[in-house]
Amino acid sequence: MIFSIAWKNMFRYKRRTLITASAIALGIMFSIMMEGMLFGADQDSKRNLIWYETSAAKIYAASYFEQKETFPVQYFIDKEQRSVLDDFLKKKNIKFAPRFQTYCDIYFSEEFFETAGSISGILSAVDVTKDSTVYKVSEEVERGSWLGDSKDASRDENGISTGAVIGSWLAKDMKAELGWYITIQCKGRGGFIQTMDIPIIGIIQSSNPIINASGVFMDLAFVNEMLELKGGVTEYSLSFGDISVSDKRYETFRTEFKSSLFSSADSPLELYSWRDIEADFLALTKTKSASSKFFLVFMLIIAAVGISNTMLMAVMERKHEIGMLKTLGYTNKFIRSLFMLEGLCIGIIGSIAGLLLGFAVNFFMVQYGINFGSLLEGVDIGYRISAVMRSGWNIPVFFLIAFGALIVSALSAFIPSGKMVRVEIAEIFREV
């Protein structure tokens, strides 16, 4: 009987029920949209970090990691170590790409450019044969060619590329064109300053804003000569295959690496996962996740106030029915449950509608996303996403949001109905 009355009561004031259910539905929809976008940004960021910046894991020379933010040029994985490391990684069937990375200043003069000036970047000297097995940077060339490609006109007689591929935002800031020469100044091994005049052979437009804003890529073989690296590199980037299984494979590899000779005092190399390298980023996403939870709670409070108000009106309008039910011997608990059930029913309708709307909006956001390209240029929002911001499907959380709304809907009827059932029956009928 209680379910029947609660269900029928819900349709007593259809418009009011519709408005309340719609408010819940909109709240859920926006919460799903928000959660989906944050989840999508989070997932995209992780992907873009691994594909363009950190790879799944890196091997550094000892002491490099602690100073990695400054790109130090005194901790190298030397030529001899590299030879052993290459064999070890090949044996373990791990894809790897050696790199040398350092900060650089890029000077451009009026000879080619509209104005003279300088800009900072991050120079990555890459092994052109191996880099594309770990990173996707080479696939993101928007104009020109990648280092060592058949279209790369800067290659010398030994096939070594003497040009640079730069990020699109960097190119835009300099108003650079392909073939124009830039002067790159950076530290060589040991700290000496080297200056290189090199042509721009390619421009990258990737989905990682850091690459677009500061990426300068050159052939490791060329940089080895210019910066006197003596065959050494600052890091080995590793790939464990698909991102979904990457973390698990890393754990297995970490155990093997620890038991290898590289962890010994004679040959101290250190292995770090992308999570170790980007700990700051992960902390930031956690903070953003916490703020999204706050948003969810806020939405639930709004839903609670809305339903509470609806139920308060229902209770006030039906006080004589409450009195009548009490005269029939129905308990306060039963009457309270009746209203809570009614709130729950409104919540169910609102939640189903909210889920459907939320899924529809999220589907659009996953498929097409929102293009924040012009807004994100030059702005560091922490996430490694650029231009199109796409949502993700965090299904358990979406359902959790709807479930939260259901609970809130039921509880929102608790206070208004509780107040009325405590009034003496005679008092209810006296207030005509």
Partner 1 sequence: MLMIKDVKKVYLSNSESVHALQGVSAEISDGEFMAFAGPSGSGKTTLLNLVGCLDSISGGSILIDGEEISSLSSSQKSLIRQKKIGFIFQSYNLIPVLTARENVELALDILHMYSKKEMKDMSYAMLAEVGLAGLEERKPNQLSGGQQQRVSIARALVKKPSVILADEPTANLDSVNSEMILQLMKDLNEKHNSTFIFSTHDQMVLSYVNRIISLKDGLIMSDETKRSV
In the complex, least distance from residue 288 CB atom to partner 1, rounded to whole angstroms? 46
- Closest CB 345 distance from partner 1, rounded Å: 13
Q: Are 341 and 3 in contact (CB under 8 A)?
A: yes
Greatest alpha-carbon span in the chain: 104
Nearest distance from residue 429's CB to partner 1, in Å?
8
Rounded Cα distance between 358 and 265, Å, is 56
Contact mark string toward partner 1, 155..194, x via CB under 8 A: ----------------------------------------
Site size for partner 1, by CB under 8 A?
A: 24
User: Quick check: 13 binds partner 1 (CB under 8 A)?
Assistant: no
Cα–Cα distances in Å, from 364 out to 165, 359, 392, 396, 397?
Answer: 34, 9, 11, 19, 18
Which position among 107, 112, 295, 330 is part of the footprint of partner 1 (CB under 8 A)?
A: 330
328 interacts with partner 1 by CB under 8 A:
yes
**Least distance from partner 1 to the Cβ atom of residue 426, Å:** 4
Coil, strand, or helix at residue 197? strand
CB 280 within 8 A of CB 54: no
230 close to 188: Cβ distance less than 8 angstroms: no
Q: Pick the binder of partner 1 from 80, 256, 424, 431 (CB under 8 A).
A: 424
258 binding partner 1? (CB under 8 A): no
Q: Which is nearer to partner 1, 326 or 336 (CB)?
A: 326
Region binding partner 1 by CB under 8 A among candidate stretches 62-70, 100-108, 231-239, 324-332: 324-332
User: Residue 379 is encoded by which pair of tokens?
Assistant: 């702005």
Q: Binding to partner 1 by residue 360, rule CB under 8 A?
A: no
Separation CA 395–CA 344 (nearest Å): 22
In this complex, which beta carbon is closest to partner 1, that of residue 299 or of residue 340? 340
Nearest-approach distance from CB 25 to partner 1, in angstroms: 23
DSSP label at residue 154: T
Does 9 help bind partner 1 (rule: CB under 8 A)?
Answer: yes
DSSP 432: -
Contact status: 315 vs partner 1 (CB under 8 A): no
Of 40, 369, 68, 47, give the one whose Cα is nearest residue 208: 47
313 binds partner 1 (CB under 8 A): no
Helix then strand then coil, in percent of the chain rounded to 5, is: 55, 20, 25
In whole angstroms, what is the distance from residue 10 CA to residue 8 CA?
5
Which of 130, 155, 326, 384 binds partner 1 (CB under 8 A)? It is 326
Please give the residue ranges that form the binding site for partner 1 (CB under 8 A): 1, 4-5, 8-9, 11-12, 320-321, 323-331, 424-427, 429, 432
